Amino acid sequence: MTAQPPKIRRLRVPDINVVNHRTLKKALGGTIVGNTMEWYDVGVFGYLITTMGPVFLPEADKAVQNLFLLGTFGATFIARPLGGVFFGWLGDKIGRQKVLAMTLMLMAAATFAVGLLPGYAVLGIWAAILLVVTKLIQGFSTGGEYAGATTFVCEHSPDRRRGFFVSFLDMGSYLGFALGAALVSVLQLTLGQDQMEAWGWRIPFLVAGPLGIIAIYFRLKIEESPTFQATLEQEEEAARHPETGEVIGPVGPVGIFKEHWRRIVLAMILVAAANTVGYALTSYMPTYLTTNKGYDEIHGTLLTIPVLVVMSLCIPFTGHLSDKIGRRPVLWIGAVSTVVFAIPAFLLLSIGTVPATLTGLALVAFPVTFFVANLASALPAIFPTAHRYAAMGIAYNFAVAIFGGTTPFIIASLIQATGNDMMPAYYLMATSAIAAVTIYFLPESARRHLPGSMPSVDSDEAARELVATQDDNPLLEMDSLPFDSSYEAARAAHAEPQGRPGER
C-alpha cells in the first residue's frame, strides 16, 4: 500500500518566533533615532530657507533666493526614489540592519556637511552647487531610511502589537521635525537675523554631527530581523536542495514591480494621501500662516510646534487602536476626518487669532495621527519578506517624491491661480477621498503574521496557545506559512516529516 503524503502541515511551537523584548527595544530605539534625524533636518532646512538665501545667493533678489532654496529642498525628493530602489534591493539581499546603518551614516554626514559649507563670499556659485550636491546625497540616503525602518520594526514586532510598536517611528519623525523647528526658532529669537546669516544658521546642521554619532552607535548595536534571517536560511537551504521547491529570493526592482505592481500602486495612493496632509501641516503651514494670514515668520513657526508635539505623543495610541480594531478602520478614520475637517480647519485659520489658528492646525493634525502611523504597519505587511524592503522603497519614495514633497508647491500654485485661500482644504479633501476608496482594497493585516513569515508572539505561553488553537484561528493562513524545506522534502518522498533540526 502506497503511503500518502500528509495533507495539512501542523504548526509546532518551534516554528513560531517568540519575540525577545530586549532585542525589540534595541531595534526600536535604533530605528527611531534615524527617523528623528531625517525629520530634524527637514524641519531645520525648511525653516532656514529665508536665512540661507543671502548666504548662498547674495546677489539675487529675495524671490530668486527663496526659489533656489525651495528647489534645493525639492532636490532631496528627486533623489529619494533612487535611494529607495537601491537600498531596498540591497536590504533584501544583505540584510536590513547593515543597510540601515549605511543610510544613517550617509544622512548624518550630509547634514553635518551642510553646516561646514563655505558661502558665496568664499566659493561663488560653487557654494550653491555644493549645497545642492549635499542635499542630493541626503535625499538618496533618506530613500532607504523610512522603508527600511518600517520593514525592520515590523519584522521584529509580535503580530498582535505590531501597530503599536511601529507607530513609534512616526512619533520620532514628527518630534524630530518639531525639534528642528524649535531650535531654529530659539536661534532666531536670541541671535537676530544678521547673526543668523553670518554664522548662526550653521549651528542646527552642526548639531547633527554628534547626534549622528550617538544614533549610529545605537543602530550598530541592533540585531538583524529574525524574520529576514529565517528567509535567508530558507533560500540557502533551497539552493542546497532545489528539489524541495522554489523559495522567493531578491530580484531586481523591475522584477519586483512586475510581480507586485498592484500592491505597489495601492501603497503609493495611500502614501500620497497621508503625506499630502502630513506635509501640508509640517512644510506648508508656516508659509501659509506667514504669506496668507499675516503672521511674522517666527510666530508662523512657533504656532505649529505645540501642535506637532501633541500630535506626535498621540500617534502610539492610534497604533494601539489599529491592533484592536484593525488597520483599515483606523485608516478610514484618517481619510474621512480629512474630508470632514479640512474646510472647518482653514476657516478657523482665516480668523487670524491664536486660539482659532491652534484649533485649525489641530484639525489638520488629527487625521495625520491616524494616517501615517498605521500605514507604517499596514504597508510592509502586504509584501512578502524576501521583497518587502525593496517593494516598500519603491512605493513609499516614489509617492513621497511625486506628491508629498510637491504639496507646498501645489497648494501655493492653486491659491495663486484662483485667489482662493480655501484651495488647500479642497486639495486635501480630494486626495483623502481617493484614499478612502483605496483602503477598501487594502488587505487587513492587524494581528496577522507577515506574508512569507512564521507567526511572531510575545511569549512561550502565547506560542503554545497559538499551536493549540490553530485549527480554529481565523488569523492564521496555513497555506502561506513558509514551512521548512525538510518537511517539504519528506512530503515529496511520501514520508512523515522529520521535524526541525532542534527536534531530532
Instruction: Indicate the pTM of the whole model.
Output: 0.85
Element (H, E) at 111: helix 96-116
Identify whether the C-beta of residue 7 lies closer than 8 Å to the C-beta of residue 479.
no
pLDDT (0 to 100) of residue 425: 93
In this model, does residue 307 exceed pLDDT 60?
A: yes
Choose between 119 and 479: higher pLDDT.
119
**What's the CA gap between 315 and 319, in Å, rounded?**
6
Helix (H, G, I), strand (E, B) or coil at 493: coil
**Has residue 106 got a pLDDT over 50?**
yes
Quick one: average pLDDT of 256-281? 92
pLDDT in tens, 374-397: 999 999 999 988 889 889 999 999
Kindly report the number of other CB atoms within 10 A of residue 120's CB atom.
17
Q: pLDDT tens digit string along 215-238?
A: 888 888 888 777 777 766 665 555
Question: Domain 18-226+249-456's class?
Answer: mainly alpha
Q: What are the tens digits of pLDDT across the range 46-56?
A: 778 778 888 99
Averaged pLDDT score across all residues of the chain: 84
Q: Identify the bridge partners of residue 457 per DSSP, sorted by sequence position.
A: 18
Q: What is the pLDDT of residue 238?
A: 54
What would the pLDDT profile of 108-164 be if each residue is shown by its tens digit?
899 999 999 999 889 889 999 999 999 999 889 888 888 888 888 898 899 999 999
3-state secondary structure of 456: strand
Query: pLDDT (tens digit, 9 = 90+) per residue, 424-470?
Result: 899 999 999 999 999 999 999 999 999 888 899 999 999 999 999 88
Summarised one tens digit per residue, pLDDT across range 32-78 is 887 888 788 877 887 787 788 889 988 888 778 877 887 787 778 88
> Average of pLDDT values for 95-120?
90
Whether 499 shows a pLDDT value over 60: the answer reads no
Could you state, in order of their start, the residue ranges of all structural domains in the chain? 18-226+249-456
Residues of the chain above pLDDT 70, percent = 90
Does residue 491 sit in helix, strand or coil? Answer: helix
Pairing of strands 17-18, 456-457: parallel
Q: How many CB atoms lie within 10 A of CB 116?
A: 12
- Please say if the pLDDT value at position 191 is more than 70: yes
491664536: which residue's cell? 354
Give the integer Cα–Cα distance in Å for 265 and 144.
19
For the stretch 312-365, pLDDT in tens is: 999 999 999 999 999 999 999 999 999 999 999 999 998 888 899 999 999 999
Confidence band, pLDDT 50/70/90 cuts, at residue 502 = very low
Greater confidence, 289 or 2? 289
Q: Which three cell numbers stand for residue 177?
A: 521635525
308 vs 248, residue with greater confidence: 308
pLDDT of 487 over the 60 cut: no
Instruction: Give pLDDT, residue 492.
Output: 43
